[in-house]
A and B are shown apart, each in its own frame.
Chain A
């Protein structure tokens, strides 16, 4: 048994669920509690205590958002490491192993103990863990309301005077709507998880002129790659020549590839990101995913996988799921369904509703139209591309 982690600043405080805990109390509770290598981590407190217990014992810990029968095996062995689930919205989530020491290297320049961070991400997501580690290392205050929608998060930000918020562009659009004319005392605004668009960056800069505004580019496997702080969407095109922050960038067939000195083991060398880039003057702009997946409210969704899900519903002869651009959530899914002959439309709609309920909210087709046929593209395939 080792000493509790020294990198946690004792001034850290967590405000969650109407309770306030400081770092010593959380460390004590972690020592008292029973913690296996697999933890259902739905609260920030659960994440902090699981991290402390695992690092103290010198073993891995899997922080789960959803049940995973393989987690115990994946988290076996010795040596402190954290396993997080990817946010696969359809299909089984993947467990990715993270080296906390490597993640902590990225936390430089964030050592502000007066910061009051609002946690807008799920505690056991990669982005959520970044926020939690940042607050822990800085001795800052962390405000968490797990399971709350954007309105509840805004209420928490106002009530507790949040100064630092990291969220997806979808979160920030909802934030601007739900906060009305009441502003928390924001000093730092971070956007991540999906491409930040220029109108949103402009709105945030106008509303919070004194706050530091930046958007982050990260991937599940490579972690945080770079931050853009000039208030403009995309990133400077010359970074494709010069690299940024030690990370090399290049385009291969329109897709961004990265080479990072901080890459996880096995991810050294050039790695495809799956993100398509368009060049516009001095700027490189994000232009969607190479595999057709889209972000819906910050969650990565595969229209094709949702389509397969609908095709499995009895009474469905054919189905097409499309991603439609949406000003609030980036994209939203719609479906066109061709009923099998003799199928009762009402019964089919009920069956489709039941099928959609088995998907994550972001992956549910929000508008479902019944049709006689699905128009096909020139090659006789469904037109997979995102409609403009």
Chain B
């Protein structure tokens, strides 16, 4: 799932003309090295739902700060 998130983040940053920094499980989405705003992050959640068929937020907002915390919200099957 980390790879999927990194790949889709890369697409979003490429659209903005921004370079993709190296990211890991501990990379924070907002306020860290990623040049993204909350609308970009909302876009990421949308494309992850389209790609995995899963919506971990169906029952409401769930807390996540880092790439690893977001990845953990998706079922492992989605990573394949």
Using a CB–CB distance below 8 Å, which chain A residues touch chain B? Answer: 149-152, 154-155, 170, 173-174, 176-178, 180, 197-200, 203, 296-297, 324, 326-329, 332, 334, 353, 361-362, 366-367
Contact A200:B46 (CB < 8 A) given known A151-B31, A361-B39: no
Q: List 8 extra interface pairs beyond A176-B63, A177-B64, CB under 8 A.
A: A177-B65, A178-B31, A297-B39, A324-B46, A326-B45, A328-B45, A361-B37, A366-B42
Contact A327:B38 (CB < 8 A) given known A174-B30, A177-B29: no
Complex Cα–Cα for A178 and B36 (A): 12
**Nearest Cβ on chain A to B70's Cβ, whole angstroms:** 10
Residues of A within 8 A of B64 (CB): 177
A155 touches B42 (CB 8 A): no
Q: What is the total of A-B residue contacts with beta carbons within 8 Å?
A: 83
A327 touches B39 (CB 8 A): no
A367 touches B60 (CB 8 A): no
List residues of B (35-71) whose CB comes within 8 Å of A's CBs.
37-39, 41-43, 45-47, 50, 57, 59-65
Residues of B within 8 A of A180 (CB): 28, 31, 65
Residues of A within 8 A of B28 (CB): 178, 180
B42 touches A297 (CB 8 A): yes
Contact A362:B39 (CB < 8 A) given known A174-B30, A332-B46: yes
- Interface residue from A154, A203, A334 paired with B46 (Cβ < 8 Å): A334
A150 touches B37 (CB 8 A): yes
A366 touches B43 (CB 8 A): yes
**Main secondary structure on chain A at its contact with chain B?**
helix
A326 touches B61 (CB 8 A): no
Complex Cα–Cα for A362 and B37 (A): 11
**Nearest Cβ on chain B to A299's Cβ, whole angstroms:** 10
Residues of B within 8 A of A334 (CB): 46
Residues of B within 8 A of A173 (CB): 38, 61
**Nearest Cβ on chain B to A285's Cβ, whole angstroms:** 14
Complex Cα–Cα for A26 and B42 (A): 39
Complex Cα–Cα for A218 and B11 (A): 38
**Nearest Cβ on chain B to A125's Cβ, whole angstroms:** 17
**Main secondary structure on chain B at its contact with chain A?**
loop
**Nearest Cβ on chain A to B30's Cβ, whole angstroms:** 4
Residues of A within 8 A of B32 (CB): 151
Q: Which 4 A-B pairs have the closest CB atoms?
A: A199-B60, A151-B31, A327-B57, A178-B30
Complex Cα–Cα for A150 and B61 (A): 17
The residue among A177, A366, A367 with the most chain B CB atoms within 10 A of its own CB is: A177
Contact A326:B63 (CB < 8 A) given known A151-B30, A154-B31, A178-B31: no
Subset of 21 A-B contacts with CB under 8 Å: A150-B30, A150-B37, A151-B31, A151-B32, A173-B61, A174-B30, A174-B41, A177-B63, A177-B64, A178-B30, A180-B65, A197-B61, A199-B60, A324-B46, A326-B42, A326-B45, A327-B62, A328-B38, A328-B45, A332-B42, A366-B39
- Interface residue from B41, B47, B59, B65 paired with A328 (Cβ < 8 Å): B41
A199 touches B59 (CB 8 A): yes
Contact A149:B42 (CB < 8 A) given known A177-B30, A197-B61, A367-B47: no
* B12: nearest chain-A partner, CB-CB: A366
B61 touches A199 (CB 8 A): yes
Residues of B within 8 A of A203 (CB): 61, 63
Residues of B within 8 A of A200 (CB): 60-61
Contact A367:B39 (CB < 8 A) given known A177-B64, A199-B59, A200-B61: no
A327 touches B65 (CB 8 A): no
* A172: nearest chain-B partner, CB-CB: B61
A366 touches B30 (CB 8 A): no
B38 touches A155 (CB 8 A): no
* B50: nearest chain-A partner, CB-CB: A367
A332 touches B39 (CB 8 A): yes
- Interface residue from A152, A197, A329, A353 paired with B42 (Cβ < 8 Å): A329
Complex Cα–Cα for A366 and B41 (A): 11
Complex Cα–Cα for A332 and B37 (A): 13
B46 touches A326 (CB 8 A): yes
Residues of A within 8 A of B50 (CB): 367
Complex Cα–Cα for A178 and B32 (A): 9
Complex Cα–Cα for A173 and B47 (A): 19
**Nearest Cβ on chain A to B63's Cβ, whole angstroms:** 6
**Nearest Cβ on chain B to A349's Cβ, whole angstroms:** 10
